Structure 1
Amino acid sequence: MIFKASYLISILHISDLHRSPSEPVNNDSLIAALVADGDRYLGETPRVPPPCGIIVSGDIIQGARIGADGWREEMVSQYVTAKDFLCKLADRFLEGDRSQVVLIPGNHDVCWNTSRSAMEKAQTNEIGNDIPSLIEQRGSRYRWSWKDQSAYKITDNTLYLRKLDAYWEFVSDFYSGFSFPLPIDRARGFQLFELHKNSVLVAAFDSTYGNDCFGYSGDIEPGVVGRCSLAIRDLPRAYELKAAVWHHSIEGPPMRQDYMDVIHVKEMAGLGFQIGFHGHQHIGATQTRSVHLNEEHAMAVVSAGSLCAGARELPRGINRQYNMVVIEDDFRTSRVHAREMGEGGQFSRKTNGEFLTGYARVSWRAQENLGGQTVKPDEENTRRVILRAEELLKAGMAKCALGELMAIDITRSAYAKRLACDAALEAKEWETLKLLLSETASDEEVVWLIIASIETRDLAHAADLIKTHTELAKPVVQQLNDRLALAKMKAGK
């Protein structure tokens, strides 16, 4: 049985692991620096507990230049290095449980050589005069190259869709042997992860739709956020917190185009996501995005700086960074602790900007149902389990029903306890029945406990229970004594 206690949830949020060729960082040195910083933040005030999960918000590798010799082998080699790092990170912080590591691709994971091979220069007579509108249209097959001042067209869509092959091969290898709420599916546009004993659901969105060697903006394929929300509704349990992850930043300078339209985040907020994580901009930050329906639905958004980028890729005055995101036990507020690399390649508190005290606070609305009432996941999960258990019992699957019920805190529902006792009796799971009846609330439960004690050969206890519970009806006592006598005879007592 699960008994809920007050706790803080801490998530290690890293991003942009691409290694600059001019400033490579060694895996062992990086792991050592993260572990050493763990010693530091565990002793800080306010408290930062060790992480229960790791979110990696894209750009796992640097990638390979177009036309570079051996670019395939180079990308595979970079993913081997990334896997070694992430496996060691999971071993150190999560006891090797890679199902608690959330991965998504970033623009650096998109193979430029593959996407370029799927394109040809567009003919002048097919592009017309209004090139910007042709290129900017969502889902357009046309791209513009500033380098050679030419328009390109995607002519081999099958090849184009293989631009993340190396990433997905890496993901398949990394997660081999681990299970998830839904199987990993590269074509779905999102993956689902459960963190911290299934209390937190994380939806990882691929924001590289349309991203390639000439198209730099982030985008999520139309319909993906909605399909994800529907898939979550169909899951067998409710969650204390619904989080989203994507790679691209959601704002940028006027002349830049490598960020994602904030409309996606507003859709997430409207569908009940409460906190979002991203990378790409190479600096840690927090903000709140809202959508107004009948009332304001606010979603906290947290970005992590780059863990591995070099000085040429980092914003001026910014060092390598990562976040520790501490979620309070009300599941409505969080502290984002930004950690920054300093002397000796070591991390410590970032103490400037919005992280002047080493952390920033963010908050969001509690989950609500259509009636505007606050959703209580524990109560909802109990209700769902009871319904499933009832169906299993009707189908003669008592043991399965008992397994479902024992996974929740049945002390919250007298009916759930009664249903579990019925299932244990039918399945003849006597030890479990004794556990359920450690505290009896009726004569019937006392009788069940006596029967369970007899069946488990705890005969002295059974006899004591019969003797002390004088309120039991005489015919019932006689039947129990007869059963006890038969058990003693079989036991040779």
Structure 2
Amino acid sequence: MFSILHISDLHRTPNAKISNEELLSALIRDRDSYTRGDNPIRSPDAIVVSGDIVQGVPLKAPNGQATLQAQYDEAEDFLRKLAAELVEGDHSRVIIVPGNHDIDWQLAKQAMQLVEVGDLPANVLGALQEPSSLYRFSWATREVFQIFDTELYGKRLDAFWKFFESFYFEVAGLLRVKTGSDANLYSLHGGRIGVAAFNSCHGNDCFTFHGSIPAKVISQTHLDMRSLGPFELSIAVWHHNLEGPPYRTDYMDIEIVRAMIARGFRVGMYGHQHRAQVSAQSLRLAASETMAILGTGALCAGGADLPSGSNRQYSIIEINDDLCSALVHVREVMASDMFGPASLPSFGRRSSMEVTWDRPTNSLGAPIDTEQRALTTAVEVAERLVKASCHADAVTKLWPLRNQLSGYGRKLLLSAAEAARDWPPLVELTLEPGSIEELVLGVEARIRMGDCAAAKAHVAQYTPRLQLPAHQASELLARIAAEEGLRKK
């Protein structure tokens, strides 16, 4: 299995009712409990944080910039400590996206100006509803504003990106993670899982609360993941939920998710609605394709911000090794602000629910063999590296796939390791040589590592099995004897 801790809506602030220390203690204590229970849950291999990292600052609050910075300092302190405890401090296994609370409302407002009645568009409602509209309506003052400084407006997430850059500073193992990107890409589970971390706050500010991810961002991300992968499972992470009451606008259009399904995403993870939810979305193309949509509850929202009947929550997602199914476990606050298994009506009063999804399909509707595609791509990359005399890099590329390689791929790994004089991998690869050539390589590797006794035993064990000609066996033993003689001198 591969396990993901899914947290959202942290709403961190230095004066929060629940301190970093209390929250961290509760999460660690719960981890110690669920990993040792009657039906143990795997300890997290990665962490997904789906937005609302901080509480944010109201429009009229004094010292807005300093207050926001202090909140992000508090959030970074918490996430660093959480990563140290749960994923060995490896920040490349922590995925973070922004939420609506991460937007600097004061900066967004500074980029707008009031539109006088005489300057209003003829069709005000139509202008407000246009995609990427520059007009905003304030329900509080019944006034229309227009974004006049698009450059300043584009900086309304600068405080988030500053925190983001600090958290990932000089972190190794990141796939493609850049400050300010609409979609950052992560690689998990030895490259089997690709994660696209989307910013769903396009056009979101102090007056507009909906979630949105531009279609071109999803399309470009699909192309990027094809070139950086292939991945056996593609996961999308964003902040906003996909449905809401008739008079609310703070959710995301379901068509955005359908665009993800059409491009091979099979799991979606979000927060925002402050309660756990598991659903499936389907899209009919050449064949029916299904995506599992996994919403988690709020980790730290106050009581007034929680839906009726909901407690503070988080989730653990155990993805099965087939990468086509998972078990979603929801944990919620029990007594003394400690977490335990939830009892959810939507889960049949259980704390866990199994979910499945379809494998990506090609244009004819046939499932794509992503594992074979990954092997083929890795071998092609390694072949280019060998031709460029980058033998050690070729070994690094193929080594995680060594148990799946056969034929040309296995031979390429063996020859690259030999050219790189990387003897330990050759010893492991030739524990059970499949040919005389592999036996010879294995013997040479053992000699180079100074284990002549093991080299002789290897010849003795596999000479009859591989029907090694007597003259070749004699040559190998003579080579071992000569090395032993040199070592005695």
TM-score (norm 2): 0.92
Which of 314, 324, 327 matches 2:319?
327
Q: Please tell me the residue identity of whatever aligns with 1:84.
A: D
Query: SS at the partner of 1:40?
Result: helix
Structure 1: 5+ residue runs without aligned partners? 1-7
Query: SS at the partner of 1:223?
Result: helix
2-structure distance, mates of 1:415, 1:95: 36
- Does residue 258 (structure 1) correspond to residue 254 (structure 2)? The answer is no
Q: Please tell me the residue identity of whatever aligns with 1:171.
A: F
Partner of 2:165: 172
Q: Mean Cα displacement is larger for which, 436-445 or 72-81?
A: 436-445
Which of 417, 442, 449 matches 2:442?
449
- Aligned counterparts, 1:93-242, within 5 A: 93-235=86-228, 237-242=229-234
2-structure distance, mates of 1:296, 1:330: 19
Partner of 1:425: 418
Query: SS at the partner of 2:308?
Result: coil
Q: CA offset at residue 159 of structure 1? A: 0.4
Q: Mean Cα displacement is larger for which, 148-157 or 464-473?
A: 464-473
| C-alpha distance 484-234 of structure 1, shift in aligned 2 (>3 A) | same
2-structure distance, mates of 1:49, 1:209: 35
Q: CA offset at residue 116 of structure 1? A: 0.3
2-structure distance, mates of 1:313, 1:417: 56
- Aligned counterparts, 1:9-408, within 5 A: 9-19=2-12, 24-44=17-37, 46-235=39-228, 237-355=229-347, 356-408=349-401
1-structure distance, mates of 2:100, 2:46: 23
Query: SS at the partner of 1:312?
Result: helix
Query: SS at the partner of 1:197?
Result: helix
Which of 468, 484, 487 matches 2:483?
487
Q: CA offset at residue 149 of structure 1? A: 1.4
Q: Aligned-pair RMSD on alpha carbons? A: 2.3
- The answer to whether the 8 A contact 2:269-2:295 is kept is yes
Q: CA offset at residue 484 of structure 1? A: 4.3
| C-alpha distance 148-387 of structure 1, shift in aligned 2 (>3 A) | same
Q: Mean Cα displacement is larger for which, 317-326 or 70-79?
A: 317-326
What per-residue deviation string (whole Å, max 9, x for no partner) do you get for residues 343-377 of structure 1? 21122222131131112222211233344443344
| C-alpha distance 487-171 of structure 1, shift in aligned 2 (>3 A) | same
Aligned length: 485
2-structure distance, mates of 1:286, 1:152: 38
What per-residue deviation string (whole Å, max 9, x for no partner) do you get for residues 227-273 of structure 1? 111100001x3323211111111111111111111111010111111
What per-residue deviation string (whole Å, max 9, x for no partner) do you get for residues 292-318 of structure 1? 112211111111111111112112232
Query: SS at the partner of 1:402?
Result: helix
Query: SS at the partner of 1:234?
Result: helix
- Aligned counterparts, 1:471-482, within 5 A: 471-473=467-469, 476-477=472-473, 479-480=475-476
| C-alpha distance 200-454 of structure 1, shift in aligned 2 (>3 A) | closer
Partner of 1:4: none
What per-residue deviation string (whole Å, max 9, x for no partner) do you get for residues 412-439 of structure 1? 4133222222223333334433332211
| C-alpha distance 131-458 of structure 1, shift in aligned 2 (>3 A) | same
Q: Mean Cα displacement is larger for which, 412-421 or 206-215?
A: 412-421
- The answer to whether the 8 A contact 2:240-2:251 is kept is yes
2-structure distance, mates of 1:50, 1:184: 25
1-structure distance, mates of 2:389, 2:405: 25
1-structure distance, mates of 2:453, 2:376: 38
Q: CA offset at residue 184 of structure 1? A: 2.4
| C-alpha distance 276-461 of structure 1, shift in aligned 2 (>3 A) | closer
- The answer to whether the 8 A contact 1:180-1:192 is kept is no
- The answer to whether the 8 A contact 2:136-2:145 is kept is yes
| C-alpha distance 487-214 of structure 1, shift in aligned 2 (>3 A) | same
What per-residue deviation string (whole Å, max 9, x for no partner) do you get for residues 371-416 of structure 1? 4443344332222222222222223333332332223224541332
Q: Mean Cα displacement is larger for which, 189-198 or 165-174?
A: 189-198
2-structure distance, mates of 1:254, 1:330: 39
Q: Please tell me the residue identity of whatever aligns with 1:256.
A: R
| C-alpha distance 352-461 of structure 1, shift in aligned 2 (>3 A) | closer
- The answer to whether the 8 A contact 1:341-1:348 is kept is yes
Q: CA offset at residue 90 of structure 1? A: 1.1
Q: Mean Cα displacement is larger for which, 446-455 or 159-168?
A: 446-455
- The answer to whether the 8 A contact 1:20-1:308 is kept is no
- The answer to whether the 8 A contact 2:4-2:317 is kept is yes
| C-alpha distance 439-108 of structure 1, shift in aligned 2 (>3 A) | same
Q: CA offset at residue 460 of structure 1? A: 4.1
Q: Please tell me the residue identity of whatever aligns with 1:337.
A: H
Q: Please tell me the residue identity of whatever aligns with 2:358.
A: R
Q: Mean Cα displacement is larger for which, 52-61 or 314-323?
A: 314-323
2-structure distance, mates of 1:317, 1:374: 41
2-structure distance, mates of 1:362, 1:463: 53
| C-alpha distance 411-169 of structure 1, shift in aligned 2 (>3 A) | closer
Per chain length, whose mean CA-contact separation is higher, i.e. which structure has more relative contact order (CA < 8 Å, sep 6+)?
A: 1
Q: Mean Cα displacement is larger for which, 34-43 or 349-358?
A: 34-43
- The answer to whether the 8 A contact 1:392-1:401 is kept is yes
Q: Please tell me the residue identity of whatever aligns with 1:115.
A: A
- The answer to whether the 8 A contact 1:22-1:310 is kept is no
